Amino acid sequence: MKAFKVFVYGTLKRGFPLHRHLRGARYLGRAWLKGFVMYDLGWYPAILPGEGVVSGELYEVDWATLLLLDEVEEEGEEYERRLLSVELEDGRREEAFVYVYRKDLKGQPRVQEGVWQKKVSF
């Protein structure tokens, strides 16, 4: 089975509403993405390149789960899946897929600390 690493930073994290889509994925630990800024879009966040650090979680997923995440994130429309370098708690760096927002975020509130904490149920 081919495995892919995915960095998640919002509603896909443990304890958040969309985490169910990572059922069966292997949790690899907390991780940080440097050079990106997080914005609050209501019930979910978005990130764009900028002066900042985004906190999240790193997972190892199979091909079917990666394709499911593409659907959830509307890859190619709302988000673009990019291969980027993230840093784990122990200082190791890993290449992982990250969903980066494709639209303009001008006027949207910035999540200053780069940590998504808003838990909305639906």
The token duo for 51 is: 């002066």
User: 44 with 10: CB under 8 angstroms?
Assistant: yes
Domain residue extents for the chain: 4-101
Cα–Cα distance between 86 and 94 in angstroms, integer?
5
User: 113 with 52: CB under 8 angstroms?
Assistant: no
Per CATH, the homologous superfamily of domain 4-101 is: Gamma-glutamyl cyclotransferase-like (3.10.490.10)
pLDDT at 121: 63
For the chain, where are the alpha helices, taking DSSP H only? 63-72
pLDDT at 122: 54
Q: Which of 105, 84, 103 is nearest to 95 (CA)?
A: 84
pLDDT at 101: 98
The token duo for 17 is: 């509403």
| Angle ∠(35,41,47) on CA atoms, nearest 5 | 15
Decide if 73 is catalytic. Answer: yes
pTM of the model: 0.94
Catalytic residue among 51, 60, 71, 73: 73
User: 88 with 52: CB under 8 angstroms?
Assistant: no
pLDDT in single tens digits along all 122 residues of the chain: 689 999 999 999 999 999 999 999 999 999 999 999 999 999 999 999 999 999 999 999 999 999 999 999 999 999 999 999 999 999 999 999 999 999 999 999 999 899 999 877 65
